[in-house]
Amino acid sequence: MGPDLTIERQLAVAARPTAVVLGPVSVVLPTLNESENITATITGILQNVPGLVEVIVIDDNSSDGTRERVAALGVPRVRVIQRMEGHGLASAIARGVQESRGEVIVWMDADGGMPPAKLPEMIARLEGCDVVIGSRYVPGGADRRAWMRRYASLFINGLARAVLGYGIRDYDSGFVVVRRHVLDQVPIVPVGYGAYFIEFVYTACRKKFRVGEVPYVFRERTHGISKSCPSLGRFAWLGCTYAFQIIRARWRCAGLRRASRIIQPSFERVDHRGVLRELLSGGRWTTLLQGEMRTGAILGNHYHRRTDVFFFMEHGRARVRTVTPRSGRSQELVVTAQQGVLLRAGVAHAIQFEQPSTFFLLKSRPHQDRRSDIVPYQVC
């Protein structure tokens, strides 16, 4: 009997009618050489997650057959995105979030250390929260890894609590359930390994989202070698990056406000006359442009010295890449119909159209000033 029937039978047996369903759920799994763990992790997710619409495996070109193991499951809700370049944990999660369709987004490790059986409880906590962290350091939680990794995590979290505050016990968990609207305002910084999570949680708290924690027991990976601790040197280097991220997150609030993000319609009125939507509020705008682009066309590869630009997609789909030249910080957003993104002055951008598209550009300065205002910058 094929593996797809086995999985679907397990799902039927494991159905939980009492589980809380708050909307379609997408689960993102970043992977690099996890062939020994990926089947059990995905099976656990399929058995436990209410309202699941998809599992997205973002694979950094594994060489051990990870993708083949996923394909062998034969489950249509499980798909793999193979990345040939741009590897890294944070960027893999950011890519998975961009590709997801659920109103509830989960991301977690694929190595067996984070139990899928905890997900129903974490999802249920979203009834009173916007972000729910799987936590090792609230009552009932524990870290069962080797002593060196355990004490390093305790130190990092102690430093984070002292510097960042907000009462979060597990700032570097990486095991989380999030409502989609949070990610519209708190984008994942797609750089590095696990330190991104500290900034994500801190920014969510600063923006007054409700952040809760659910206890779980974190265990050593079931099989394979840890990506964070393959050697003592790399472990020490990662520890330094976590500490640096804590300090940087505390003191670069102004820089975070410049980050690009997907903008959804913020107001909508529907009555017998029709529909009225507010797409953007605030700012001083002087120029409105409308355009139509073919598949594969690219706009941008530059930044504006003084001009803010609001890009709004009427119909179609585009991938918007941004780079802050001073810091090198990069982002990648997928913009679809009736979504927009605000591109601040000083942020280089490139808009690559993935479908025939119609769009609007709203600018804060006259379009005729473009020669003195534009600085070429190769983004893609």
- Asked if 285 contacts 364 with a C-beta cutoff of 8 angstroms, the reply is yes
Question: What average pLDDT does the segment 84-102 reach?
Answer: 84
Question: Is the separation of the CB atoms in 75 and 49 below 8 Å?
Answer: no
In a 10 Å sphere around its CB, with 0-12 CB exposed, 13-18 middle and 19+ buried, how is residue 39 labelled? middle
pLDDT computed for residue 231 by the predictor: 47
Pick from 150, 163, 162: nearest CA to 228: 150
Paired residues of 318 in beta bridges: 335, 353
Number of helical H runs and strand E runs in the chain: 11, 21
State how far the Cα of 342 lies from the Cα of 322, in Å rounded to an integer: 11
Residues facing 131 on adjacent strands: 178, 211
Cβ–Cβ under 8 Å, residues 29 and 41: yes
d(CA 79, CA 57): 6
- Segment 309-317 shows an average pLDDT of 89
- Quote the DSSP letter at residue 266: -
Within 8 A by CB and 6+ apart from 321, the residues are 330, 331, 332, 333, 349, 350, 352, 379, 380
Of 125-129, 274-278, 295-299, the range with the lowest mean pLDDT is: 274-278
Confidence of residue 49 (pLDDT cuts 50, 70, 90): confident
| Mean pLDDT of the chain, nearest integer | 79
Cβ pair 307, 292 in contact under 8 A: no
Residue 363: band (very low, low, confident or very high) from pLDDT cuts 50, 70, 90:
confident
pLDDT at 257: 44
Q: What is the C-alpha separation between 253 and 76, in angstroms, rounded? A: 41
Please provide residue 170's backbone torsions phi and psi, each rounded to the nearest 5 degrees.
Answer: -130, 80
Q: Are 237 and 193 in contact (CB under 8 A)?
A: no
Burial 142-151 (b: 16+ CB within 10 A, else e): ebebeeebee
- The 10s digit of each residue's pLDDT in 213-266 is 999 998 876 655 555 454 455 555 556 667 666 766 665 544 444 445 555 555
CB environment 194-220: b (16+ within 10 A), e (fewer): bbbbbbbbbbbbeeebebbbbbbebee
What dihedral do alpha carbons 123, 124, 128, 129 form, nearest 10°? -10
Residue 359 has pLDDT above 80, yes or no: yes
- Nearest C-alpha neighbor of 311 from the set 290, 281, 283, 325: 290
Highest average pLDDT, of 10-19, 95-104, 360-369, comes from 95-104
Q: What percent of the chain has pLDDT over 70?
A: 75
Between 375 and 222, where is the model more confident? 375
Task: Show the domains of the chain with their CATH numbers.
Answer: 3-256 (3.90.550.10), 262-376 (2.60.120.10)
pLDDT of 277 over the 70 cut: no
- The two tokens of residue 168 are 């979060």
256 SS3 class: helix
pLDDT band at 298 (very low <50, low <70, confident <90, very high): very high
SS3 177: strand
d(CA 125, CA 276): 34
* pLDDT tens digit sequence for 153-182: 888 887 888 888 888 889 888 899 999 888
Are 278 and 266 contacting, i.e. CB atoms less than 8 angstroms apart?
yes
pTM, two decimal places: 0.60
| 267 has pLDDT over 60 | no
Which is more confident, 23 or 128?
A: 128
**Cα distance between residue 309 and residue 329, in whole Å:** 19
Take residue 366 and report the two structure tokens written for it. Answer: 């006259």
**H-assigned helices in 25-118:** 38-48, 66-73, 89-99
